[in-house]
Amino acid sequence: MSLEEHQIEAFKKMVDKLFDETKENVLRILNEAAERALHILDDSEKYSIKKLNESLTKYMERAEVESKKELAKIESEAKMCLLRLKESLFEKVIMEAKSMITKYCETDEYINDLIKNLKKTSNTIDLGVVLMNNKDIERIGMKNLKSILGDCEIKPHKIEIGGFIAISKDEKIFVDKTIEGIFDKEKMFLRSRIASLLFR
C-alpha cells in the first residue's frame, strides 16, 4: 500500500471515529432528556402527560439541534482534512517532478532538445535577444549559439532550471520556453489530476 493510500485509509478511520463519537454524544443527550423527564414525573404527579410530552419534545429538539451542530462541525473538519491531504500530495508530486526535470536537464538529450527548440524559434521569430542560464550557455558554447541564432544578442539570465526566453527585435514578441514557465503552466493540470484521484 502506497503512502497516499495509507494517508487516505487513516483519514477514513479518523472520520469514522468522529462520527462514532457524535453518535455517542447524541445518545447521551437523549438519555439525559429521558432521565430528566422521569424525574419530573416522580417529583410531582401534578404534571400532566401533555406537559411531559412537551418537555420530552423540547429535549428531543435540543438533542437534534446539538447533533446537527456536531455533525456540521465534523463535516467541516473532514473537508479541511481532505484539502490538507490534497495540498500535501500536490506538493509531493511537484517536488518529485521538479527533481526529475532537474536531472533531465543534466543530460545530453536535454541539450539536443534545447538546440532544436532554439533553431525552431530562430526560424519563426526575428530574434533580438535570447536569455539563457550560464550553465546552458557554457554547455552549448557561445560559438554554436551564434551559428544557431545568428546576430541576436545572447544574454545570461537567472533561469533556475533551464530553457530560454526569446524576445523579437521589435520587442513585440516574447516567448517563454523556460522549464519553470512550462512547469507553472502544467501546475493547474496536476492539481486537477490529483483532485480527481483523491475524490473519485
pTM strictly above 0.85: no
Amino acid letter for position 54: E
Region 120-133: mean pLDDT is: 93
The string of pLDDT tens digits covering residues 175-200 is 999 988 888 887 777 777 766 766 65
- Mean pLDDT over all residues of the chain? 77
The string of pLDDT tens digits covering residues 2-22 is 666 666 666 566 555 545 554
**Residue 6: which H helix or E strand, with range?**
helix 3-43
For residues 166 and 150, the answer to whether their CB atoms sit within 8 Å is no
The string of pLDDT tens digits covering residues 72-115 is 787 787 778 777 877 777 778 778 878 888 898 899 999 999 99
For residues 137 and 154, the answer to whether their CB atoms sit within 8 Å is yes
* Partners of residue 132 on adjacent β-strands: 156, 164
CA 140 to chain centre: 37
Which listed CATH number (3.40.718.10, 3.30.465.10, 3.40.50.2300, 3.30.2320.30) goes with 108-183? Answer: 3.30.2320.30
Apex 146 CA angle, 161 and 114, nearest 5:
30
User: Taking the domains of the chain in order of start, what are their residue ranges?
Assistant: 3-100, 108-183
